[in-house]
Structure 1
Amino acid sequence: MNILVADDDPSMIALLTNALEAFGYDVTVANDGNEAFHLLRTGKYRLFISDWQMPGMTGLELCREIRRRGAGGYIYIILLTSFSGLDGVVQGLDAGADDFIAKPFNPSELLVRIRAGQRILNLESRELTIFALAKLAESRDQETGDHLERMREYVKILAEELSQYDDFWGIIDGDYINLLYLTSPLHDIGKVAIPDSILLKPGRLTAEEFEVMKTHTTLGARTLADVAECHPNASYLQMAMDIALTHHERWDGGGYPHGLKGTEIPLCGRITAIADVYDALTSNRVYKEAYSHEVAREIIERDRGTHFDPQLVDAFLHAEEKFLEIKNQMRSSLHLSIP
């Protein structure tokens, strides 16, 4: 990460630059507020450390101008100040600052505050990346959007139910549920590489066509792996890859693409499998009417221990009223996803 530092004091610039470079960051220096503002307008800097008092533009004026302009990506601003007391904090926060470092600064405190800023920026990048990829999948099929909306609600319901089970204590927590909610819409991202003649075929696929359709799992995982190479700090993409690759695996080993069995299948893939099948069963297709919730429940219950993880089926049955509520709230007239 390249951090922009603005201060008119050469000794303070040297201290900040030495500390940040020792922590492994690249540093760009501005010697006054006007120079800092010019550099910020290039869009190259997401994290900005500014002195409070500078010629040209003060740190407060820079904060206000950055927030007023509404840059394309969020800029995390840390104000460096010798002021103390509540009034200074209030002024800085009101102007748009995110954090403060007091002069003289402690390098360890500086690192902690930089890392806090990175976490905030990574959250924004994560959601933007997921949204962009999900919209890519949606662009191939106008009904995919409704499917994705329902899917993430279903996986959230299942995960929240499982979090109460002893076997999942310490595995499923609030962070896991939120990550599953964010990444599950990418389960069918690989379908962007499936030919329209197969993906949008108005009827059942032939055996040969279905073999091509099945490759959307490996293609999706490969697509997300390519994205991960461009965003090496985006660890959340590992869950997205697991979901894309394994949501058609079966508990008894009869699924695809690798015939994984039981807990060899990542938990996120097992959760997504039930949500995906339930939505496919309860949605209209060009060659079938939607099944009722009751019929879908019977099919999922019948496949307990064969297609689906038994504990996940139990969780589904316990939370089925919530599934039915989402289905009724977010009903669509047509759904072309292949289970």
Structure 2
Amino acid sequence: MRRTRIAGTGSYLPEKILTNADLERMVETSDEWITARTGIRERHIAAPGEFTSDLATEAGRRALAMAGVAADEIDLIIVATVTGDFSWPATACVVQHNLQAGRAFAFDISAACSGFLYGMSIADSYIKAGSAKKVLLIGAEVFSRIVDWQDRGTCILFGDGAGAAVLVAGEGDHGLLSCHLHADGSFWPLLYQMGQGSRNPAAPASAEQGNPFVQMQGNEVFKVAVRSLCEAGEEALDANGLHADDVDMLIPHQANRRILEATAKRLGIPLERVMVNVDRVGNTSAASIPIALDEAHRSGRIKQGDTLLLNAFGGGFTWGAALIRW
């Protein structure tokens, strides 16, 4: 049976680290307040002149090196991001140029924090259809450019980074077992960014355009997130005839520690089997899962034959889960 498997992973975090102590000097907050509510202690911030495509390129380069795949062997590049270099062209096209992956077609997808899982499902479809044999899937964000650094409800949460995986066609029982995606657009007013879209085109500022930064109603997002993450996780397990005890590692979107803990508890997965790095990287949106996956992989926490459950929830609302047998 043809399955999509992960041949290599990679990630990149900018050098600059912004700690909670640094934030205390920027906005009315404290390390104690941030840590208690989010579990985040520090996050990485892109340097001036460092863009989403730069982070994505480096993460992709590291994933290709691990997989032993040359850039010119890649058939497709997908970049999941809501903070691309431009409205258009796609950041994936910039990455394709940077890597000199000239034979690959390339596009971006926008599904916020669920973007990497959405991209995995798309890549899986291309691979199973035989339209692509090797896919470079990247989640990359520079959220520091779209948050209001005077809004303590959002600026404490987000960090910059990129993660990548090389997906290839394989045979047998190992690889992506299934992917389950959902969305409910009725919730979009709870988490969004106006930016520059058809509702807010590039023009002199006006009252009609509204606040250009990330807007979030945190308590309401929390309630829907935990329920949706658990339902998607259970859906993935049920579809494969598995139970929580069969999961060797849960790799969730690193939104905040309270959501991680609540989700793991409701799914019945002990915290020692949950990959957590939100304390060191913050919420990196679409980059969150691939960064955590790469860290778990390179640190030896993932072993051949392990069953991994990945789940994510993000603006839109979008959410989903994937099961992988390593």
TM range (shorter): under 0.3
Tell me which protein shows more strand as a share of its residues. Answer: 2
Tell me which protein shows more helix as a share of its residues. Answer: 1
Instruction: Report 1 or 2 for greater relative contact order, CA contacts < 8 Å, sequence distance ≥ 6.
Output: 2
TM-score if structure 2 supplies the norm length? 0.25
TM-score if structure 1 supplies the norm length? 0.24
Structure label with greater radius of gyration: 1
